[in-house]
């Protein structure tokens, strides 16, 4: 679909209006067609940082594709035009990249915000110790035969490289935080549940709406991928012993 953007940032469909209808009503400069630019939403937006990842594919019942297409990611107008070091915020006078140096951001009122680091996990008096506590093994799907390490605390699952558990090749799995699996070293239990994904996750064939406790050799389904859960920690072993 072709969308045009006038000099004032108004978007309109040129197949419906040859000029910006909002500017025409206001009598502004955007009324003139030579002040507009064309954005094709089916193209990769340069400088967006999203070039490496495709859109998450929708789930089609019984394999039918119908006439639906995957939803494309939407980027801010500044990113679509190549980005800028300065982003204007209404009522705040704008801020620049320099405001974020050294983890400090200064509001227009002069108040500082500090990005304090999150305290590390402490197990057996060792700070930042996040050992392997189990594995997920793909038994069905594009990554069949691949194993994924589970660590203590929360493990977020998605297609993006920075996810704790990164599952490639399954376009039905969301890029970020589709689901999560967690281990509590104090109670020695594992839980699995949905996070921000659009498609349903299942535990042993049943839909999971909230985090549910899982046990050895349970089957987790995320997208079109099935994963077998293999624990290391539990009643017989734990890293805090």
pLDDT in tens, 145-155: 999 999 999 99
Helix (H, G, I), strand (E, B) or coil at 205: coil
pLDDT in tens, 79-133: 433 444 434 444 444 545 444 444 444 444 555 555 666 666 666 556 677 899 9
pLDDT in tens, 167-177: 999 999 999 99
Helix (H, G, I), strand (E, B) or coil at 170: coil
CA dist 148 and 127 (Å) reads 23
Query: In 188-217, which positions are buried (b, 16+ CB within 10 angstroms) versus exposed (e)?
Result: bbbbbbbbebebebbbeeeebeebeebeee
- CATH class, range 122-231: mainly beta
| Phi, psi values for residue 25, rounded to 5° | -70, -35
Angle, alpha carbons 92-99-7 (nearest 5°): 50
**Contact criterion met (CB below 8 Å) for 164 and 157:** yes
Q: If you search the block for the tokens 């227009």, which residue do you land on? A: 108
CA terminus-to-terminus distance, the chain: 60
* pTM, entire model: 0.54
Domain spans of the chain?
85-116, 122-231
């Amino acid at each position: 679909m072709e969308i045009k953007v006038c000099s004032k940032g108004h978007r309109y469909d040129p197949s419906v209006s040859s000029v910006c209808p909002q500017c025409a009503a206001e009598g502004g400069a955007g009324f003139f067609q030579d002040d507009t630019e064309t954005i094709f939403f089916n193209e990769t937006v340069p400088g967006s940082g999203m070039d490496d990842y495709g859109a998450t594919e929708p789930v089609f019942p019984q394999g039918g594709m119908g006439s639906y297409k995957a939803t494309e990611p939407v980027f801010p107008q500044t990113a679509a035009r190549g980005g800028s070091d300065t982003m204007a915020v209404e009522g705040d006078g704008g801020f620049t990249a320099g405001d974020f140096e050294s983890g400090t951001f200064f509001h227009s009122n002069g108040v500082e915000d500090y990005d304090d680091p999150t305290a590390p996990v402490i197990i057996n008096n060792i700070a930042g110790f996040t050992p392997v506590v189990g594995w997920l093994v793909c038994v069905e799907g594009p990554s069949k035969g691949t194993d994924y390490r589970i660590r203590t605390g929360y493990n977020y699952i998605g297609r993006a490289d920075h996810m704790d558990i990164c599952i490639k090749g399954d376009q039905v799995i969301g890029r970020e935080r589709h689901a999560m699996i967690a281990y509590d070293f104090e109670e020695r239990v594992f839980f699995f549940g949905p996070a921000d994904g659009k498609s349903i996750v299942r535990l042993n064939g049943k839909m999971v709406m909230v985090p549910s406790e899982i046990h050895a050799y349970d089957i987790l389904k995320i997208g079109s991928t099935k994963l077998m859960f293999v624990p290391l920690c539990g009643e017989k072993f734990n890293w805090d012993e």
